[in-house]
């Protein structure tokens, strides 16, 4: 919310109260509380009729500082709140000097100055990161209620990223962002996944631990500051030190939860019935037969909404008019090696056989007068499952468990954004705080069931809505995009923004959801989609099978699906890294190249893992402009070499795009191209590109259950490249790019390659 009218004036009807100076500091063994009056104190009489803010500083884990600003502390606590993980072993150091008091955790410090004006500075390794200064902390009485805020300074050239899956400009400077989940598609400022966390290119991130609406004015209301505010009497946030972007995300996900590792099979190609298309078992089988006939590997089949009867969503019952033998059908599909996903949401239509049962047992959200909250928007008379009720969670999970027993493997957990605030919850949760947080409980309920039934390594949802902490329940997809190059680009922006908000796995509707793409858009999107974390063909009113576009689309889809399967040793090890440290699979360029200022602004290309640069083509003529960081990069598809740092302009056929291997990389390429889950170490080929003298690369090849299967040590010593393997005695190969080989000598676990000088 904006409180000022320009820099000097206050908006009409608003009365601000700012922390003016430090009056007193209470020091505990591991925390500091600062008391700040809202005007300068010139005598004892000034302490009367005056608000006093308490600002508490502590550290839940090393290199993270917690800040809590409180005006009136007598407000009753209201659930929910974001869960955070604390390290009980965290040590802080507090120093109290005449001019300032400092609390230090690891390399991060907060320094409170005891001067004439309010000034608090955050420092990383002794260098200033940001500060809270004149009129930064305070509360404002407005016609809508009381709001409490903080403002953190931005330095010259400092840019802000994150705040969830946002389809607006990648750099958030100049934007006003409300953290409020809405079903707004990908072509608006609204977002399905609002995360009150941002990071900057100055070595720190900020997480606001408030599940309700948080308003961010990012270099907008005051262009040299980020303001964030919430309604109420208290505001809690965390400063998270890096200094690198990867380290910031590592600590943020340690605080709020790491992403789980999706099963290997989920990285293959998903095909959907699409939304409003007509289909039955014959239609589905026809698609699958045709995919096989045209040599397109298919790994997951998804049934969208109309697997259930119209006006009955969600009843979790197969529409018998079109699927008279669902268990038999699923058995037949699974015998072909397919996994099965079905669409669900937490909305129960009045005509659903589940409605009366849920209403009778108190499993639906209610109005304040005790009636079931209902609406005709989406499904006639629908109610919403109350996931604050443990019995409702068990009930809903039980209905899903029956589908798992029938042969379903996973669920597309759609919606979860249209959550009303004029309601009451079973556990008394604040409905305003629950609006965003609902998505967390919804997806957690389904994910926990899958983990219980399928095991730790085989649980995955395909979710649209999320809030902070939701990254623990992958995978998330981008929502309703349109079938254009512009929407393809905005989808990528949203995915990169979500990756910088702690989410490790992300997908999108290949070809666009709304409308039907032209053949060239579909083919370019297919290449992009199969070089994403997860890959799904899905749409609204038309089938997304490639032969509906043209024959070349079949070839493009086949090629890039096979390519992704062959890259699974590399991709799955990258996914394991995401689980371990929170680094997303699809990475904004700044994550890998934080010292290259050009990379700070790039949102039309990305790194897939740490070694592959992907630049999707967003043009009808095949032209693509992209940036190449320092070093000799090799296109994995055609062997062309580009020397960076520089901008490049190329034109690509539909079966190609810039897919560059980072210099000094060793990419493990698998032996199979027809499926994503296989023995990655058996027949693996190490693709060595431009390995410089003296370089040493360690390559871990995983098994498809998420464990390290084999380890290769690759080093160059002058004209010699030496490769040593540790692991089971299986066949393996080496491919050297950019260097001419004179001879090679090999044993079972050793390989020495002599290069031409």
Contact 348, 335 (CB under 8 A): no
Any idea what DSSP says for residue 106?
Answer: T
- Tell me, what's the pLDDT at 591? 98
CA distance 507 to 584: 12
CA proximity to 484, closest of 513, 448, 504, 443? 513
Q: What pLDDT does 738 receive?
A: 79
Q: What is the pLDDT of residue 35?
A: 98
Residue 119 CB coordination number (10 Å): 19
CB 68 within 8 A of CB 235: yes
In sequence order, the β-bridge partners of residue 615 are: none
* Catalytic pick among 20, 165, 414, 709: 414
**Is 514 a known active-site residue?**
no
Domain edges within the chain = 9-75+87-256, 265-344+389-416+438-566, 586-656, 665-755
pTM, to two decimals = 0.97
Using an 8 Å Cβ cutoff, are 196 and 185 in contact?
no
pLDDT, residue 756, reads 87
The beta-strand segments (E) located in 214-254 are 215-218, 225-231, 234-241
Query: Average pLDDT of each block of 10 consecutive residues along the chain (757 residues)?
Result: 92 96 96 97 94 98 98 96 96 96 98 95 98 97 97 98 98 98 96 98 98 98 97 98 98 98 98 96 97 98 98 97 97 97 98 98 98 97 98 98 98 97 98 98 98 95 98 97 98 98 98 96 98 98 97 98 98 98 98 98 98 98 98 96 97 98 97 98 94 95 95 95 93 89 89 89
Query: Which run of H or of E encompasses 508?
Result: none
705 is catalytic: no
Superfamily of domain 586-656: Golgi alpha-mannosidase II (2.60.40.1180)
CA within 13 Å, CB half, 748 = 5
Do 586-656 and 665-755 agree at the fold level? Answer: yes
Strand partners, 25: 34
CA 89 to chain CA mean position, Å: 29
Collapsed DSSP state (helix, strand, coil) of residue 346: coil
Matching CATH number, 665-755, of 1.10.3470.10, 3.90.45.10, 1.10.10.60, 2.60.40.1180: 2.60.40.1180
Q: How many CB atoms lie within 10 A of CB 641?
A: 15
Helix runs in 315-469, H state only:
326-334, 355-361, 390-406, 431-454
Set 417, 509, 600, 677: catalytic member: 417
Cβ contacts of residue 595 below 8 Å, gap of 6+? none
Cα gap 599→601, rounded to integer Å = 5
Q: Which two tokens stand for residue 342?
A: 């079905």
Q: Output the six-digit token pair for 235.
A: 């505001």
Catalytic residue among 165, 304, 480, 514, which?
480
pLDDT of residue 414: 98
What tokens does 391 get? Answer: 């019995």
Q: Active site includes 141?
A: no
CATH topology of domain 265-344+389-416+438-566: TIM Barrel (3.20.20)
Q: What is the pLDDT of residue 586?
A: 98
- Residue 173, φ and ψ in degrees, nearest 5: -55, 135
- Which CATH number is correct for 9-75+87-256, 2.60.40.1760, 3.40.50.1950, 1.10.3470.10, 3.30.390.50? 2.60.40.1760
- Nearest Cα to Cα of residue 137 among 27, 16, 257: 16
Tokens 């039955």 belong to 280
Nearest one of 228, 189, 198, 225 to 212, comparing CA atoms? 228
């Amino acid at each position: 919310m904006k409180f000022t009218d320009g820099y000097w004036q206050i908006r009409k009807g608003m009365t601000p109260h700012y922390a003016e100076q430090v009056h007193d500091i209470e020091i505990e063994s591991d925390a500091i509380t600062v008391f700040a009056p809202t005007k300068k104190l010139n005598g004892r009489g000034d302490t009367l009729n005056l608000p006093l803010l308490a600002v508490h500083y502590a550290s839940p884990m090393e290199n993270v500082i917690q800040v809590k600003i409180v005006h009136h502390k007598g407000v009753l606590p209201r659930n929910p709140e974001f869960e955070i993980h604390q390290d009980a072993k965290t040590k802080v150091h507090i120093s109290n000097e005449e001019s300032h008091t400092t609390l230090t955790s690891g390399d991060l410090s907060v320094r409170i100055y005891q001067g004439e004006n309010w000034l608090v500075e955050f420092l990383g390794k002794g260098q200033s990161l940001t500060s809270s200064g004149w009129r930064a902390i305070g509360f404002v009485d407005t016609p809508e209620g009381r709001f409490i805020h903080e403002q953190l300074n931005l330095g010259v050239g400092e840019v802000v990223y994150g705040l969830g899956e946002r389809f607006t400009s990648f750099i958030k400077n100049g934007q006003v962002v409300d953290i409020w989940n809405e079903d707004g598609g990908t072509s608006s400022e609204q977002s399905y996944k609002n995360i009150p966390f941002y990071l900057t290119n100055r070595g720190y991130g900020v997480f606001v631990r408030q599940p309700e609406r948080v308003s961010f004015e990012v270099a907008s209301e005051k262009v040299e500051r980020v303001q964030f505010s919430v309604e109420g009497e208290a505001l809690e946030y965390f400063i998270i030190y890096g200094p690198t972007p990867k380290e910031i995300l590592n600590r943020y996900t340690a605080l709020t939860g790491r992403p789980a590792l999706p099963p290997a099979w989920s990285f293959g190609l998903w095909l959907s019935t699409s939304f409003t298309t007509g289909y039955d078992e014959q239609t589905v089988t026809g698609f699958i037969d045709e995919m096989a006939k045209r040599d397109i590997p298919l790994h997951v089949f998804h049934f969208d909404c109309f697997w259930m009867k119209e006006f009955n969503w969600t009843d979790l019952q197969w529409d018998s008019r079109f699927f008279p033998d669902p268990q038999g059908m699923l058995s037949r599909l699974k015998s072909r090696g397919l996994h099965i996903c079905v669409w669900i949401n937490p909305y129960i239509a009045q005509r659903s056989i589940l409605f009366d049962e849920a209403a009778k047992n108190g499993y639906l959200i209610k109005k304040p007068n005790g009636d079931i909250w209902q609406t005709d928007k989406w499904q006639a008379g629908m109610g919403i499952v109350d996931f604050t009720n443990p019995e409702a969670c068990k009930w809903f999970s039980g209905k899903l468990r029956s589908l798992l027993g029938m042969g379903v493997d996973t669920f597309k957990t759609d919606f979860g954004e249209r959550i009303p605030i004029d309601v009451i919850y079973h556990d008394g949760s604040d409905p305003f705080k629950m609006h965003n947080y609902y998505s967390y409980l919804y997806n957690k309920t389904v994910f926990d069931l899958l983990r219980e039934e399928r095991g730790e390594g085989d649980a995955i949802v395909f979710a649209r809505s999320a809030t902070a902490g939701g990254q623990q329940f992958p995978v998330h997809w981008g929502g309703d995009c349109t079938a254009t190059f512009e929407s393809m680009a905005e989808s990528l922006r949203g995915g990169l923004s979500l990756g910088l908000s702690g989410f490790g796995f992300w997908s999108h509707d290949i070809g666009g959801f709304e409308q039907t793409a032209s053949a060239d858009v579909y083919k370019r999107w297919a290449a992009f989609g199969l070089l994403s974390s997860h890959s799904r063909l899905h749409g609204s009113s038309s089938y997304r099978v490639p032969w509906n576009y043209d024959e070349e689309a079949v070839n493009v889809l086949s090629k890039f699906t096979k390519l992704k399967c062959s890259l699974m040793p590399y991709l799955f090890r990258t996914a394991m890294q995401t689980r371990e440290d929170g680094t997303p699979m699809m990475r904004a360029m700044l994550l890998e190249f934080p010292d290259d200022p050009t990379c700070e602004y790039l949102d039309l290309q990305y790194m897939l893992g740490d070694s592959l640069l992907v630049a999707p083509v967003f043009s009808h003529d095949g032209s693509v402009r992209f940036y190449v960081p320092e070093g000799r990069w090799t296109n994995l598809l055609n062997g062309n070499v580009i020397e960076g740092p520089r901008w490049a302009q190329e034109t690509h056929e539909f079966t190609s795009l810039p897919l560059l291997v980072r210099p000094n990389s060793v990419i493990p390429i698998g032996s199979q191209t027809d499926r994503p889950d296989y023995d990655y170490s058996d027949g693996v080929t190490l693709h060595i590109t431009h390995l410089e003298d003296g370089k040493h690369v360690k390559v871990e090849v995983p098994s498809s259950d998420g464990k390290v299967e084999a380890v290769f040590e690759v080093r160059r010593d002058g004209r010699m490249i030496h490769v040593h393997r540790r692991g089971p005695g299986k066949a393996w190969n080496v491919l050297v790019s950019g260097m001419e080989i004179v001879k090679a000598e090999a044993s079972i676990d050793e390989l020495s390659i002599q290069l031409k000088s």
